[in-house]
Chains A and B, each alone.
Chain A
C-alpha cells in the first residue's frame, strides 16, 4: 500500500458490523451477502492492484428493489457504500473501504431490450461492454466505445468512468453513446435520466452521472445507441525515424479534415516489447509507429488511405504497410492491443498512466518524459491515442525492490503534472479514483473543486457513496452550502448602462 490516505474507518460502524450484515441478509438472501474474509478477498482491489482493502461486507443484489432498500438502509444508518462493476478500474474507483459495504452489480447481467428500428440497446449494468456488441452483431450492429478491457469491463462501470477506447476519436466516449440510465440515489429513490429519446427536457443529469465514478448514484439500467458496422475497415502501419515526424503526420492528417476511426502511436520501447511478444511485423528500427484505421464505404477508405500514405511519406515515413485483408488488419492491431501484457513480460511490474495533452505538445512531452526517466532511473514505454492526445506511458518498475513503487508513482505524478502544464489533463479515460485524487489541485483550484462537490451534495449530502475517491479534501455539505456574500455597491459603476 502506498501513499494515498483513505478516510479513517468509523469505529462506530465497525462495531455495528454484525447488525449491518444481518440487515443486508434480510434484503438479499443466501449467498447474496458475503461476510467471510476469505471470500471477500476477491473484492479487495480492482485493476489498480497496488491498493488493497477488505470491505466491511459484500452484497450482490439482483433487483432494483434490493438496491434501493440497501441504499435506503445505509443512508438511514450512515453506512458508506462502494459500488463495483467488473472491478477493472485502473484508478482504484472500486477500492473498498474497511467500514463500507461493497455493492457488486454483477448479478445485473441481462440484456433487456434491443430495438433495431430505434437503434438502441437497453441492458443491465453488469453486462460486459463486448456483450452489448455480441448481442447485436448478427444484424451487423455494434456498440462503439471499446475500452481495451471490453471483454471484462461492465457497461455500468463504463458509465461510471466515461470509458473511451481506440475508436472514440471518431465515435465518441461513453457519454456520447449513452441515451439513458436508471439510477438509485443514496436515499433509495429511483430516478431515470434520458431514455430512448435524445437530450434532456430539464437539467442534463445524464451528463453529470456519466463519469461520476460511483459518487452520485448506483446505475441499474443503461440504454445505449447502437450503430451499423461500417462496410469496410482497413489500417495503415507507418514507421518513422522520430516521434516529431510521426506527430507532424498526425497533425497534417487531422488538419486535412480526416477523422480516422483510430490513430494510435507507439514509441520504440513499446514497439520492441510488442514485437517480441506477438510478432506483429512492426519495424524494429522505428522510433515511432503509427497505426491508422479508416472505416466506411470501400471507395472512401481507399481514397483516404492513399491520401494518408502520401502525407506519411512527406513527413518522413520509411516503412508503410496497408492492410489488404481482415487478418492483416487484425495483425497490425495485435501488437498494440497486446502492448500492456508485452511490457509486463519485460518488467516485473508496470504502472499505466493516462494523461491527455494537446497533440502539438507531443514531442515536448516525450522529450521531458525521457529526462524524467533518467532522473528516476526507471524505463518508460509509450502507447498513445495520437488522434485525441491521450497518453498511456507505462512506467516499468519492480515492486520487490525497495522504494521502486514509490519512485514509479512519483514519476507518474510528474508526468501528469506535465500534462496539465502543457494544457492537458490528469486523466483521459481511466478516471481519478484514488490514484489521481491528490493531484486534482494541480488542475483545479479550491473554488472549482468546491463547486464539483456541491453537485455531489445535491445527490448524496451525507457523502456516503464512494467517499475518498476523486476529491482530495472532503468538505461537509453544510459548509459548502454557506454563502459568503460580499455586501456591496453596484460593481464598476462607470460602465455605461442602458
Chain B
C-alpha cells in the first residue's frame, strides 16, 4: 500500500472520501486490520485508516446504550462495558485467532461492517440486531446519519442495520450507537458425550425447543473436539447463563431432558467461558495450518447433511454452532476449495450461505468469497452499491467484482 490516510474526525473522513472521488483514487477502508484477509483482495491505491477516529462518546449503563467512534478498538469497549457488568450480547468473534492477523479483535466499525455474531446469536442476535444508530460518510463524500440513540425507533429506513455486513463497500461509518445488555451473572455448560452429528442436532433442537433458555448450542465431532477447550470425543455443548439459582434449575431441567441422548456432565463457569470463547473464535481451525475455512449458515437441521456432502467429496473437517445452523468447515485449497460443491449442497438443503473466511489471496481472487446471489437480487445489490458509492471508491470488489 503506497499511502495511508489517517483522519481523526468525521469531517476529515468526508474530506478524504471527497478527495478520493475527485482524484479517482479507490480506498481500502481499514480499522486495525484484523479482518483485512477476508473478502476479495481490494485493488486500492490508498488506505483509509479509521483507527484515529476513536473514543467512547457516551456510555450510560442504566440506559443500556453506548455511542462510540468507529475506530475504537473492541478491546477498549469491552473493558468499559465489563466494568459496568455489561457486554455486547451478540458475542463478537475475534478473527485474529483464526486468521493469525494483527489488530486483535479489531474495531467497533469493523464489527458492524462484518456483522459479527458469536454463539449467542441464536438467542441474542448479531451485531445487526444491536446497532441503533450510525453516522457515516457515503461514497459520495457526504456525511449522513440514520437511526438514533434509543432502542425503539422506526423513524425512516433502518440504514444502520442495513450497513451491517456490507464490509465497508457502501459507506465509511464514523460513529455508532449500540444497545448493550447486562452480562449473565454465571454460566454453566451441559455436555452430552458421544453423539453423531445428526443425533447431536436433534439433542440441540430438543434443548433449544425447551424453556431452558439456552444461550449457546454447539457440537464438536471427534476430529475437532480436542482442539477447543476441555472436552474430548464427540461433545454436544449447551450453555446456560443468568442468575445463579435460575442457571442451577435450568441445568437440572436440561439434564433430565437430554439423558436419553447420552452420558452427561457439566462444566463450571470458568471452563465454560474458555470453551465458548474458543468456539466463538473458531479455535479448532486456528494454528499453523492455513487451510481454507468456510463459514456456512443454514437451517440447523441442514448442518449435518451439508458437512457430510463436503466430507464425502474431499478431505474436510467441521464443527457446528447455532444448534447446527452454523457450520465451520476446513478443507484443502485444491481446485476451488470446494466452493461449487458446497454451494450446491447448501441450495439442495433449503438454502443459506457460505463465506470463505480464510483463504490465500489467489483463492479469494478466483473463488466467490461471499454467496453468489440470483440475478434479480444481484442486480438489486449492484443498484444499492451504486446509490451509496456511485464511483466504486470504497473497498472496490471486496464482496464481488463491482461490489
Stretch at the interface among A59-67, A192-200, A315-323, A372-380: A192-200
A205–B370 alpha-carbon span in the complex (Å): 15
| B332 at the binding interface (Cβ < 8 Å) | no
A204-B161 in contact given A259-B181, A491-B12 (Cβ < 8 Å)? yes
Cβ–Cβ < 8 Å partners of B322 in chain A: 198
A192–B63 alpha-carbon span in the complex (Å): 36
Stretch at the interface among A279-287, A403-411, A446-454: A446-454
Cβ–Cβ < 8 Å partners of A204 in chain B: 115, 128, 161-166
B residues 116-151 in Cβ contact with A at 8 Å: 117, 121-122, 125-126, 128-129, 138, 140-146, 148-151
| A341 at the binding interface (Cβ < 8 Å) | no
A-B contact count (CB 8 A): 324
Closest to A477 in B: B387
A172–B90 alpha-carbon span in the complex (Å): 13
Question: B165 and A172: CB pair below 8 A?
Answer: no
Question: A497 and B3: CB pair below 8 A?
Answer: yes
A424-B162 in contact given A201-B297, A432-B156 (Cβ < 8 Å)? no
Cβ–Cβ < 8 Å partners of B259 in chain A: none
Stretch at the interface among B71-79, B283-291, B349-357: B349-357
Question: B371 and A198: CB pair below 8 A?
Answer: no
Interchain CB contact (< 8 A) of A440 among B155, B210, B211: B155
Question: A389 and B159: CB pair below 8 A?
Answer: no
A211–B15 alpha-carbon span in the complex (Å): 32
Question: A199 and B22: CB pair below 8 A?
Answer: no
| A92 at the binding interface (Cβ < 8 Å) | no
A428–B154 alpha-carbon span in the complex (Å): 5
Question: A185 and B380: CB pair below 8 A?
Answer: yes
A202-B149 in contact given A119-B208, A457-B387 (Cβ < 8 Å)? no
Question: B253 and A297: CB pair below 8 A?
Answer: yes
Cβ–Cβ < 8 Å partners of B242 in chain A: 296, 300
The smallest beta-carbon distance between B200 and chain A, in angstroms, is 13
Cβ–Cβ < 8 Å partners of B153 in chain A: 356, 425, 427-428
Closest to B181 in A: A259
A272–B386 alpha-carbon span in the complex (Å): 55
The smallest beta-carbon distance between A451 and chain B, in angstroms, is 4
A118-B245 in contact given A200-B165, A385-B152 (Cβ < 8 Å)? no
Cβ–Cβ < 8 Å partners of B150 in chain A: 356-358, 388-389, 423-425, 428
The smallest beta-carbon distance between A209 and chain B, in angstroms, is 9
Stretch at the interface among A11-19, A39-47, A228-236, A342-350: A228-236
Question: A203 and B384: CB pair below 8 A?
Answer: yes
Question: B159 and A230: CB pair below 8 A?
Answer: no
A454-B129 in contact given A424-B148, A488-B18 (Cβ < 8 Å)? no
| A395 at the binding interface (Cβ < 8 Å) | no
A180–B16 alpha-carbon span in the complex (Å): 37
Cβ–Cβ < 8 Å partners of A172 in chain B: 125, 129
| A365 at the binding interface (Cβ < 8 Å) | no
Question: A118 and B299: CB pair below 8 A?
Answer: yes
The smallest beta-carbon distance between A418 and chain B, in angstroms, is 14
A429–B387 alpha-carbon span in the complex (Å): 27
A357–B8 alpha-carbon span in the complex (Å): 30
| A189 at the binding interface (Cβ < 8 Å) | yes
B residues 15-34 in Cβ contact with A at 8 Å: 15-16, 18-19, 21-23
What is the total number of residues of chain B having a CB less than 8 Å from a CB of chain A? Answer: 108
| A9 at the binding interface (Cβ < 8 Å) | no
The smallest beta-carbon distance between A336 and chain B, in angstroms, is 17
Question: B115 and A199: CB pair below 8 A?
Answer: yes
| B100 at the binding interface (Cβ < 8 Å) | no
Interchain CB contact (< 8 A) of B18 among A173, A431, A486: A486
Cβ–Cβ < 8 Å partners of B211 in chain A: 140, 228-231, 296-297
Interchain CB contact (< 8 A) of A199 among B7, B19, B126, B380: B126
| B82 at the binding interface (Cβ < 8 Å) | no
What is the total number of residues of chain A having a CB less than 8 Å from a CB of chain B? Answer: 110
Question: A447 and B156: CB pair below 8 A?
Answer: no
| B223 at the binding interface (Cβ < 8 Å) | no
Question: A486 and B352: CB pair below 8 A?
Answer: no
Cβ–Cβ < 8 Å partners of A5 in chain B: none
A440–B4 alpha-carbon span in the complex (Å): 38
The smallest beta-carbon distance between A438 and chain B, in angstroms, is 13
The smallest beta-carbon distance between A162 and chain B, in angstroms, is 5
| A29 at the binding interface (Cβ < 8 Å) | no
A-B contact pairs, 20 of them (CB 8 A): A117-B209, A117-B300, A173-B152, A198-B297, A201-B371, A203-B166, A208-B158, A211-B158, A255-B61, A297-B246, A299-B246, A356-B153, A385-B152, A423-B150, A424-B150, A429-B152, A440-B156, A451-B142, A459-B380, A495-B5
User: Residues of B with Cβ closer than 8 Å to A?
Assistant: 3-8, 12, 15-16, 18-19, 21-23, 60-65, 85-86, 115, 117, 121-122, 125-126, 128-129, 138, 140-146, 148-159, 161-166, 170, 181-183, 185, 202, 205, 208-211, 213, 242-243, 245-246, 248-250, 253, 297-302, 322, 325-326, 350-355, 370-371, 373-374, 376-377, 380-381, 383-384, 386-388, 390-391, 399, 403
Excluding A199-B297, A356-B152, A427-B153, 14 further A-B contacts by CB distance (< 8 Å) are A161-B154, A200-B115, A201-B297, A208-B161, A257-B182, A303-B245, A358-B60, A358-B150, A425-B150, A443-B148, A456-B157, A470-B156, A483-B391, A485-B22
